Amino acid sequence: MKTRSVAVLAFDDISPFHLSVPCMVLGELAGGFEVKVCAVRPGVLRSSAGFALLVEHGLEALRAADVVIVPSWPDPARRAEPELLQALRDAHQAGAQVVGLCLGACVLAEAGLLDGRRAATHWGYVHDFASRYPAVRLDADVLYVEDGSVLTSAGTAAAIDCCLHMLRQRQGVEEANRVARRMVVAPHRQGGQAQFIEQPLPRAGRDARLGELLDWLRANLRDAHTLDGLAARLAMSRRTFSRRFHALTGATLGEWLAGERLALSQRLLERTSLPMDEVAEQAGLGSAISLRRLYRQKLGVSPAAWRQAFRGGQVNGQGGE
């Protein structure tokens, strides 16, 4: 088996987690890769966790690498050094696969390597990214995306998905699954990062009665609720209730109920072994058919796939090695 050279970039204020992901997936746990951590200027670097890192290799490691990985960048507004941007362009021109994990995509975009390409980044920064790099075809609903020899991922844990994808491409499904079991993570998560985006929260303190109603609704999601019935409950007109509900939650009643029922069903799938019909009933979705329809519409996966992904190897009777 050919040994592949992987250069992982480090820089001041780097997240130790993001640096460790490619080093663990491709270096520590998988064979066939020679992983080198490099920096614009080798030596001692600060980490975001308050401890220092000693980096021995400079940008010359990029010239010999088959894969160049840029972990999550500390701040999209922070400009990368010109010599780093040129080294990335040179490595890509020489045939290396160039990878941006999470906000590492910002550095690839700044180097011009994402112009006209599909790319991913953390969902919390998609608007900022799109405004900074309009030539990039940003896909905000994927865990990772590969366009030619450039690969980018969404935030944090999606870096693991992305690195397992690289391992799966180069050494096959069995090796990627073995490494995933060692890490006690799903070998391949279905769906996109939209399933992890924070739900809108009510702006507290603006309407105590509506706030109390929301708490009551969360406790009674399995029941049917109508706009007219809830408006009457608070002695409001339908129009006034709708306006104030939207002002408080940022959503219509139907949208809010669907989001809360989806969230409850997710918790039930992750934490219980209830049949799908019972999950649907407790979440107020009526039937397993409605449950599956909602998951396909909102998350792009089936409820069964969601349960399997979040309960990991236990579903198949397997744990970590």
- Span 35-86, pLDDT tens digits: 999 999 999 999 999 999 999 999 999 988 999 999 999 999 999 999 999 9
**Percent residues over pLDDT 70 in the chain:** 89
For residue 160, give both structure tokens.
């693991």
For the entire predicted model, the pTM comes to: 0.62
Per the CB < 8 A criterion, the answer to whether 113 and 93 are in contact is no
- Strand (E) or helix (H) holding 202: none
pLDDT for res 207? 64
**What digits encode the pLDDT tens for the residues 160-199?**
989 998 998 888 878 888 888 888 776 666 555 544 444 4
AA identity, residue 11: F
CA–CA separation, 167 and 173 (whole Å): 8
Per the CB < 8 A criterion, the answer to whether 103 and 76 are in contact is yes
**Nearest Cα to Cα of residue 145 among 115, 119, 125:** 119
CA–CA separation, 43 and 41 (whole Å): 7
Which of 16-20, 126-130, 204-208 has the highest average model confidence (pLDDT)? Answer: 16-20
CA–CA separation, 321 and 317 (whole Å): 12
- Average the pLDDT over 99-125 and give the result: 95
Residue 101, number of CB atoms within 10 A of its CB: 32
pLDDT for res 171? 86
Look at residue 245 and tell me whether its pLDDT is greater than 60: yes
In angstroms, how far is the first alpha carbon of the chain from the final one? 24
pLDDT for res 214? 86
pLDDT for res 187? 66
Average per-residue pLDDT for the chain? 86
For residue 21, give both structure tokens.
């992901």
Per the CB < 8 A criterion, the answer to whether 209 and 234 are in contact is yes
